[in-house]
C-alpha cells in the first residue's frame, strides 16, 4: 500500500495559482480537481474528491509533506530573481534596524 496521503486521480486540466513569499508572487500550476486517499484520525483509509481552492490547498500541503517548497515549482531564472529581491529586502530591513 502507498504511503498516505496520496493523490490518486488528478484532473488533467490545470489551474494557475499565485503564491506569495514575502510579497513576491509567481505562478504555480495545480490540478483543477483531485481525488485524494488519506488516513482519518482513527487510522481508517478515506477518499475525498476536491476541486477549486480545496484542491489547491491539499496539493500545497502535500508538497510540504514531500519536502517541496514554493520555489521548487518555478524556473531557476525566476528563483534567482526572487532570491535577489529577498536579499535586497533583508538588507533594507537590517539597515532600518540599525
Active site residue 51: no
Contacts of 9 (CB under 8 A, 6+ apart): 34, 35
List the catalytic residue out of 27, 51, 61, 95.
61
Please list the active-site residues.
Answer: 61
Amino acid at each position: 500500500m502507498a504511503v498516505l496521503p496520496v493523490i490518486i486521480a488528478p484532473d488533467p486540466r490545470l489551474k494557475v495559482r499565485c503564491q506569495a513569499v514575502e510579497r513576491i508572487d509567481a505562478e504555480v500550476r495545480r490540478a483543477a480537481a483531485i481525488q485524494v486517499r488519506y488516513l482519518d484520525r482513527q487510522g481508517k483509509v478515506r477518499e475525498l474528491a476536491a476541486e477549486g481552492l480545496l484542491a489547491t490547498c491539499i496539493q500545497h500541503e502535500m508538497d510540504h509533506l514531500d519536502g517541496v517548497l514554493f520555489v521548487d515549482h518555478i524556473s531557476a531564472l525566476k528563483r534567482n530573481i526572487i532570491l535577489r529581491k529577498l536579499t535586497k529586502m533583508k538588507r533594507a530591513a537590517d539597515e532600518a534596524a540599525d
